[in-house]
Amino acid sequence: MAATDSREIGLCIQMLRKARGMTQEQLAELADLSVSHVRQVELGAKNVSIAALYRIADALETPAQALLSGLETDELACLRALFAGCDPLEQRIIADVVTAVIESLRKHRDARKKAEDPRDL
């Protein structure tokens, strides 16, 4: 595993941990790892073993494969991992909320563009 791969996996783990409101200490305890080990994995300073990856995934209530998807891209892969850790009802609620937020953002963006259009003067 290359250093950048370790860093991307570490960032994904860190993002998921924070999204779940967990400290490194809590993750370490749940995954039966040392806090130092978790810290080094999150920083990408240490390659994570398959066994540790599975323990971290279990502690984060996320499929291990979802942590490896951090190799794809940044936030999107981590969001996929967050989503994968939810039950079907939670996934539906999240999808509804995201859809509503996107629609609202687009509506406000369009209103700003219209207000800035010099043809409206």
pLDDT tens digits along 7-48? 888 988 998 888 888 999 999 999 999 999 999 999 989 889
Residue 99 to residues 65, 82, 91, 92, 96, Cα–Cα distance (Å): 26, 17, 12, 10, 5
- 């790892």: which residue's tokens? 33
Residue corresponding to tokens 């995934």: 57
Can you tell me which residue has the tokens 């953002």? Answer: 105
The model's pLDDT over 64-95, given as tens digits with 9 standing for 90+, comes to: 887 876 544 456 766 777 777 788 998 899 88
63 and 10 in a common domain: yes
Same domain for 64 and 96: no
Same domain, 67 and 91: no
Q: Do 66 and 23 have their domain in common?
A: yes
Q: Are residues 79 and 105 in the same domain?
A: no
Question: 114: domain range?
Answer: 86-121
Domain co-membership, 99 together with 57: no
Q: How many domains does the chain have?
A: 2
Note whether 66 and 117 are same-domain residues: no
